[in-house]
């Protein structure tokens, strides 16, 4: 019967120490000794058998492997052999270190060479870039489209001044393009104004006057024969100097004039044969060639200034953004026979007008006078816009008087479901509203379509007009000014239904709806 390893080890320990060791738990010695064993264990004697380790270098002396597997001392011959082998390995390591250093130096050199080659490719691509190959005349035209540049607040950091800081060619092209220097900002220094005037010869100028430096004003007034567009913020000291431009404005087409001082009947611009576009604000009171003006923007604090409209027989576009909160003292309504586009802040003023050619009207406050204006003028209204807080009862009378309306934009209606119901074409000719309201409507913009009932009316209106033989399919834009992050569930479901039926529809949340709303204003004077 073989002796178990624990008993054999205990016997040897008793002979070594001369007495029996204290009792140990079963298998304890085996757990102490076992981690030192390899997988080649003899179960008869409990010792490790001879094993060959594969991690030794094959060129080492064989004696090294044997000595490493035991605790025997090497002989003098074996010691000499091992020292010689170790010296050889040290020499070999030095050779490898030299080789590694050489390879590292070569690798660094090749990396530098690669970096230089890549940099040459990059520089070559810059030389061959499309921008460098743009013809000079095309580059000059591109430069002309950069002016005026409203993206930067500081005039000296805007075009055309920044173009000359790129390279010599760009500077030469900018200096040889007179059109590039025709817009003169009021905030640039006097020396730069002189540069603009010299470099822009002989082209017309777009100028701004309102400087605190009288020298700048006098310099620009001396070139008034080249004014094509003038933006003037009137100051007290400018009155006498500005009077010198009278009769010296042959190419002036646009005039923007603000006067908070109240120069009464200022006549510097009385003779301007090319003047067509005028914007007046504050207390401005000018003598102008009213009969030739076609586009007019009035933002006056004094309603009496509106009496001048009686002379604007050729006016095509008008914007009254002040608050003329009273009717003009006229025996008969003022007739503007050619006026087609009108933006007015307070609709009360409409009672003083007769506009037979009116096609587009934008009212910001009171819409109650619009039906009477349409009836009195016998105009064919094609577009109506309002952002006033209203109800459907305010809008429907306007639609009843404008059967040819093509575009309707109502952005602050409170009961939109009733408006959508009236725009819905009934399925039976015996219905109460068998005659379609605004039958040729092509574009509709509304707001406050938020609950299930309103969404249902919107779908029904679109389906009825699509199925009608007399009405075209309108495009719809819904403004949601309340939600700024996303549409609610009703809006998403309605939008999915309308798009599935291939209707043209937009549903804009807060930021996008505000952007679209603001985009309407620049289309008016």
Q: What is the pLDDT of residues 168-178, one digit of tens each?
A: 889 999 998 89
Q: Looking at residue 110, what is its pLDDT?
A: 95
Q: Cα(310)–Cα(352) distance, rounded to whole angstroms? A: 11
- Asked, for residue 299, whether it belongs to a domain, the answer is no
Peptide bond into 160 cis (omega under 30): yes
End-of-domain residue from the set 68, 98, 114: 68
End-of-domain residue from the set 23, 44, 68: 68
Q: pLDDT of 85-137, one tens digit each?
A: 888 889 999 999 999 999 999 999 999 999 999 999 999 888 888 888 889 89
- Number of C-beta neighbours around residue 35 at 10 A: 6
Q: Please list the ranges in the chain whose pLDDT falls under 70.
A: 1-61, 148-156, 211-214, 262-263, 302-305, 323-331, 428-435
- Asked, for residue 457, whether it belongs to a domain, the answer is yes
- Asked, for residue 506, whether it belongs to a domain, the answer is yes
Q: Looking at residue 376, what is its pLDDT?
A: 92
Count of structural domains within the chain: 2
Q: Is residue 197 classed as helix, strand or coil in its secondary structure?
A: helix
What pTM does this model have? 0.71
Q: Looking at residue 12, what is its pLDDT?
A: 47
- Asked, for residue 98, whether it belongs to a domain, the answer is no
- Asked, for residue 255, whether it belongs to a domain, the answer is no
Q: How many Cα atoms are found within 13 Å in the side-chain-facing hemisphere of 187?
A: 8
Q: Looking at residue 486, what is its pLDDT?
A: 82
Q: For residue 282, what are the contacts with CB-CB under 8 A and spacing of at least 6?
A: 258, 259, 260, 299, 300, 301
Q: Looking at residue 349, what is its pLDDT?
A: 77
DSSP run (H or E) holding 229: strand 227-233
Q: For residue 390, what are the contacts with CB-CB under 8 A and spacing of at least 6?
A: 367, 410, 412, 413, 414
Q: Cα(379)–Cα(302) distance, rounded to whole angstroms? A: 29
Q: Looking at residue 318, what is its pLDDT?
A: 94
Residue of 27, 46, 45, 26 whose CA lies nearest to 37: 46
- Asked, for residue 424, whether it belongs to a domain, the answer is yes
Q: Cα(433)–Cα(421) distance, rounded to whole angstroms? A: 10
467: containing domain: 382-525
Q: Looking at residue 75, what is its pLDDT?
A: 85
- Asked, for residue 22, whether it belongs to a domain, the answer is yes
Q: Looking at residue 303, what is its pLDDT?
A: 64
Q: pLDDT of 209-258, one tens digit each?
A: 875 566 778 888 889 999 999 998 887 777 788 888 999 999 999 999 98
End-of-domain residue from the set 38, 68, 98: 68
Q: Looking at residue 212, what is its pLDDT?
A: 59
Q: Looking at residue 510, what is its pLDDT?
A: 85
- Asked, for residue 403, whether it belongs to a domain, the answer is yes
Of the chain, the end-to-end C-alpha distance in Å amounts to 117
């Amino acid at each position: 019967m073989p002796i178990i390893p624990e008993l054999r080890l205990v016997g040897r320990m008793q002979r070594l120490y001369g007495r029996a060791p204290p009792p140990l738990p079963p298998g304890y010695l085996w757990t102490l000794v076992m981690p030192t064993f390899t997988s080649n264990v003899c179960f008869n004697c409990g010792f490790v058998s001879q094993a060959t380790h594969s991690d030794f270098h094959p060129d080492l002396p064989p004696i090294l492997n044997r000595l490493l597997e035991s605790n025997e001392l090497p002989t003098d011959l074996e010691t000499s052999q091992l020292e010689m082998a170790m010296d050889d390995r040290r020499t070999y390591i030095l050779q490898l270190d030299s080789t590694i250093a050489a390879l590292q130096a070569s690798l660094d050199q090749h990396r530098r060479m690669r970096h230089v080659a890549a940099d040459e490719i990059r520089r070559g691509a810059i030389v061959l870039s499309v921008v460098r190959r743009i013809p000079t005349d095309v580059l000059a035209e591109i430069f002309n489209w950069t002016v005026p540049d409203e993206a930067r607040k500081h005039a000296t950091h805007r075009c055309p001044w920044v173009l000359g800081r790129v390279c010599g060619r760009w500077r030469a092209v900018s200096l040889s393009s007179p059109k590039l220097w025709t817009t003169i900002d009021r905030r640039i220094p006097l020396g730069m104004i002189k540069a603009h005037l010299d470099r822009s010869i002989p082209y017309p100028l777009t100028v701004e006057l309102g400087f605190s430096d009288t020298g700048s004003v006098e310099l620009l007034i001396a070139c008034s024969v080249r004014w094509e567009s003038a933006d003037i913020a009137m100051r007290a000291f400018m009155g006498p100097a500005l009077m010198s431009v009278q009769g010296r404005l042959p190419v002036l087409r646009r005039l923007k004039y603000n006067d908070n001082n109240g120069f009464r009947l200022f006549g510097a611009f009385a003779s301007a044969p090319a003047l067509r576009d005028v914007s007046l604000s504050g207390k401005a009171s000018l003598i102008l060639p009213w009969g030739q003006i076609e586009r007019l923007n009035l933002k006056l604090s004094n309603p009496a200034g509106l009496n001048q409209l009686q002379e604007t027989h050729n006016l095509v576009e008008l914007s009254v953004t002040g608050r003329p909160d009273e009717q003009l003292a006229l025996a008969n309504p003022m007739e503007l026979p050619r006026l087609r586009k009108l933006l007015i802040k307070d609709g009360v003023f409409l009672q003083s007008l007769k506009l037979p050619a009116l096609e587009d009207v934008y009212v910001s406050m009171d819409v109650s006078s619009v039906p009477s204006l349409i009836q009195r003028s016998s105009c064919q209204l094609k577009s109506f816009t309002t952002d006033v807080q209203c109800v459907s009862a305010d809008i429907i009378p306007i639609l009843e008087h404008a059967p040819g309306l093509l575009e309707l934009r109502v952005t602050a209606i409170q009961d939109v479901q009733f408006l959508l119901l009236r725009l819905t074409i009934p399925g039976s000719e015996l219905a109460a509203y068998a005659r379609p309201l605004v039958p040729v409507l092509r574009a509709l913009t509304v707001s406050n379509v938020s609950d299930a009932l309103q969404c249902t009316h919107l779908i029904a209106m679109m389906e009825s007009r699509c199925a009608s033989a007399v009405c075209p399919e309108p495009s719809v834009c819904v403004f949601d000014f309340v939600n700024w992050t996303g549409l609610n569930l009703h809006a998403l479901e309605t939008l999915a239904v309308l798009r599935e039926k291939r209707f043209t529809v937009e549903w804009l949340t807060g930021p996008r709806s505000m952007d679209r709303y603001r985009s309407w204003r620049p289309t008016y004077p």
